[in-house]
Chain A
Amino acid sequence: MKVTLKVWRQKNRHTPGHFASYQTPQLNPNMSFLEMLDVVNEDLASRGEEPIAFDHDCREGICGTCSLVINGKPHGPHRGVATCQTYLRSFKDGDEIIVEPFRARAFPLVKDLVVDRQAFDRIQHAGGFITVRTGSPPDANAIPVPKESADLAMDAAQCIGCGACVAACKNASAMLFVAAKVSHLGLLPQGQPERYRRVQAMVKQMDAEGFGACTVTGSCEAVCPKEITLDFIARMNRDYGVALLRGAPKKIAGGGA
């Protein structure tokens, strides 16, 4: 099969970008979308043209590095699948496929289809961790965790931080990502001591990065390759409200000495 690619080309964030059309060489329908880009790039390189820059790493749907908005949908046409596991059999011979980078102020463009997603790292640095060492895997049931909490925490922990939620949201909001990270630790016993400080710190950093707010449209959960749901955003909102009601910690006389 062959397709026509309409790809966003931009040298760097200081020069304006444009769409360029490429006719692909002969393709195998069982190629992944990224393998198709590899073939196109090889073809471009052999003709002395600049290859298309795109992000990729594990190519098995667990690292969160690949991105791309394919025909207006982050990670392509399927539900619960990242770009690297989107295959050409999902398209028809002769299709025109429009490929754009993730677009958000907080994700500045680096080149072509590559954007800088360090804003997510900075949100994680603000509170997406447990300060004390939690040790090596403990004996089973040494710390009791209700099965329901473990399941929910696992659902949230599936977030690979790819940023598709931001790319899909009409407000470029990062709430689904932050909610997943807040809930993942907030549902487990090890995460309790810093639960409310964590949600405040991460939301503060999220706002500072210039992401939008949530309008509950549900686009984020529709594109999330790990199918994280809007319920987690409600959980984050709940924790944020509880954090306000709890207030700042009591001042300790003598500085706690």
Chain B
Amino acid sequence: MNSMISFFKSSLGKKYLMAVTGILLFLFLIGHLIGNLQIFGPPELINQYAHFLHSKPLLVWGARLGLLLIVGIHISTAAQLTRENRQARPVAYAVPPVYGSSWQSRYMLVSGLVILAFIVYHLAHFTALLPGINGVGDFRRLETTLPGGEKGRDVYAMVVLGFQVWWVALFYLVAQGLLFVHLGHGLASMFQSLGFRNHVWAPRIAWFARGASTALLIGYAAIPAAIYLRLIGASHAEKAKHQLAVSPAGPRMFSIQTALSPLEADLSAETGKEAAK
């Protein structure tokens, strides 16, 4: 155990942590993209998928807590490494040495911080469903009848309405661009940090990093781009929009009241259910 602790306290061990958490986050990105690309199918497809996920709270919460832990380790290790790296050169050069290093590698911290800000917004936008930050209205009101006859969230309408807002689509695209930059360096470097690299594999790894980061960029950016250009879902969204219009909350400006009212409604509904039992 002691050797484990001293391993992960060393500079090399911290790079192992960055690489291992990076690989897990990369795998999550692939899975998340496959799930999201269902938006290009009929509305029932992604709505049923969302319904399936929500019917397995253990799976969903397990994945969420796991991801939180992984992201937490990735960021806290990065913070420690950044601090140590800055301390290692107290006096800067007059001529900044910028040769031999790719620009992606010099902007890992910046791209990482923007991606973090994006994750917070993305969770508030489509997971916590905070109204007032999406520029549309209260996504909790969007309901649909699933093919099985049950009532469920209209995730399809939510995503389409969400990305029809220009600044939301733009922020998502910018974040995807920076994720591409971050992965362009990170995917190649994680092999280096874990020791899987030699003169034979170095060019193959470089191709893999370029290919995988480009594929993820195209996949993820296609969703907000296609929706904003009204290539998919515009008619469905138009039909679903009326559900937002019946909002008693009035103007859709951000305020604590509008942010909290759906939570309160949910709580009272929950307690109502409890009481009924």
Contacts and interface: CB of A to CB of B under 8 A. Distances in A.
B59 interface: no
Interface stretch (B187-195, B221-229, B261-269): B187-195
Contact of B10 (A98, A170, A207, A216): A207
Interface string B84-122: 110111111111111111100110100000000000000
B93 A103 contact: yes
Interface residues of A, number: 53
Interface residues of B, number: 46
A214 interface: yes
B193 A216 contact: yes
Interface string B195-209: 111110010000000
A234 B195 contact: yes
Nearest to A240: B12
Given A234-B195, A241-B195, A105 B90 contact: yes
A210 interface: yes
Nearest to B9: A207
Interface stretch (A30-38, A44-52, A67-75): A67-75
Interface in A1-26: 8, 19
B198 A216 contact: no
A171 B7 CA distance: 20
B11 A241 contact: no
A73 B88 contact: no
Contacts of A211: 11, 88
A190 interface: no
A193 interface: no
B195 A237 contact: yes
A229 B202 CA distance: 11
What are the 8 tightest A-B residue pairs by CB atom distance, in nearest-first order?
A222-B100, A238-B195, A72-B95, A217-B101, A212-B88, A171-B85, A234-B197, A172-B88
25 contacts: A8-B94, A71-B95, A103-B92, A103-B93, A170-B97, A171-B89, A203-B10, A210-B87, A212-B88, A213-B11, A213-B14, A213-B84, A214-B15, A215-B85, A215-B105, A216-B192, A217-B100, A219-B97, A231-B197, A231-B198, A234-B195, A237-B15, A239-B195, A241-B194, A244-B13
Given A72-B99, A103-B92, 4 more contacts: A216-B192, A217-B102, A234-B196, A236-B12
